Amino acid sequence: MSAVPVNRNSGPAAEGATGDLASADETAIAADIRNRTHRRKTLLWTARLATLVIIVGGWQLLANAKIIDPFFWGKPSGIVTQLKNWVQNGTAYGSIWLQIWTTFKEAVLGFVIGVLAGVIVGVLLGQVRFLAEVASPYIKIANAIPRIVLGSLFTVALGLGIASKVSLASVLVFFVVFFNAFQGVREVDRNLLANARVLGASRLAVTRHVVLPSALTWIIASLHVAFGMAIIGAIVGEFLGAQKGLGLVIATAQNNFNPNGVFAAMFIIAVLALTAEGLIALLERRLMSWRPPSQTEAAAA
């Protein structure tokens, strides 16, 4: 794609090159580029819609023709019916909104606790070399353990309530965020550190003004994965034992040989995750506004 004329504006803004020499010729070229971008966007969305229609429609057709057995694999129309049913009549454990709210609450709490702990420990170990060296083998071991199994422990120790799910979610989140924060702190530009120290920064000031903002790029990148982890933690926790929540709804559907129920719950979870992802992206844009726009963003603008 020819991004050359767009590049001209995204270069060093120093010269203030807004094209004050824009002749009629250049306006025509600009209009042409706008048109082309517009056409490309339309094509893109058409193709995306077509993909959806083919997958969902194909599934429905194949299920109707019994090529895919709907008893095991469900079918789109059945999933929609199941969703409607939940909204109208609720689940076996109360309204569907209560189930969604429960899972969401567990995931968000676990996410927040895990992120805070991950950032604090990561920044601390990243800055204090000795601590990092002491902790390093244990962190490796802890990372090698399949942490999802901790869910069993938490369920037994903390009961069927929200605490066991939040604990599992935060443990899963912690490791993702921790590793990124740790790495981010270690990657801080030596020059920036030396510069801040020469300018008279105390250790705290160095952390606040140099280390944290610098590591933030890494930390934010980890949040996308981390929220997925939080949801997994909450769902698995509910699977292992709960009184309400989407995980319990899925487990019940499984026991009743109801694949449509599993898919319907999956769909709800995906909506939840996408919403959270959108919020994180928004946060990212706010915090990272200083970053130069990447080539693709500049071209899309």
Q: Which stretches of the chain bind another protein, using CB under 8 A? A: 12-14, 189, 191-192, 194-205, 209-210, 213-214, 216, 290-292
Dihedrals phi, psi of 289, to nearest 5 degrees: -65, -20
Q: Which is nearer to another protein, 188 or 242 (CB)?
A: 188
Q: Which is nearer to another protein, 201 or 299 (CB)?
A: 201
Question: Considering the complex, what minimum distance in angstroms separates the CB of residue 211 from another protein?
Answer: 11
Sign of CA dihedral 106, 108, 112, 115: positive
Chain centroid to Cα 22, Å, comes to 43
Sign of CA dihedral 262, 267, 271, 274: positive
CB atoms within 10 A of CB 68: 17
Q: Which is nearer to another protein, 211 or 248 (CB)?
A: 211
Rounded distance between C-alpha atoms, residue 185 and residue 126, angstroms: 5
Q: Which is nearer to another protein, 189 or 297 (CB)?
A: 189
Question: Considering the complex, what minimum distance in angstroms separates the CB of residue 63 from another protein?
Answer: 52
Question: Considering the complex, what minimum distance in angstroms separates the CB of residue 176 from another protein?
Answer: 23
Question: Considering the complex, what minimum distance in angstroms separates the CB of residue 129 from another protein?
Answer: 14
What's the token pair of residue 171? 């443990």
Question: Considering the complex, what minimum distance in angstroms separates the CB of residue 217 from another protein?
Answer: 9
CB atoms within 10 A of CB 69: 12
Q: Which is nearer to another protein, 202 or 243 (CB)?
A: 202
Q: Which is nearer to another protein, 197 or 224 (CB)?
A: 197
Q: How far is CA 192 from CA 71, 127, 206, 220, 254, in A?
A: 62, 15, 9, 20, 55
Question: Considering the complex, what minimum distance in angstroms separates the CB of residue 245 from another protein?
Answer: 39
**Contact predicate 278/196, CB 8 Å:** no
Rounded distance between C-alpha atoms, residue 170 and residue 1, angstroms: 43
Q: Which amino acid is at 260?
A: N
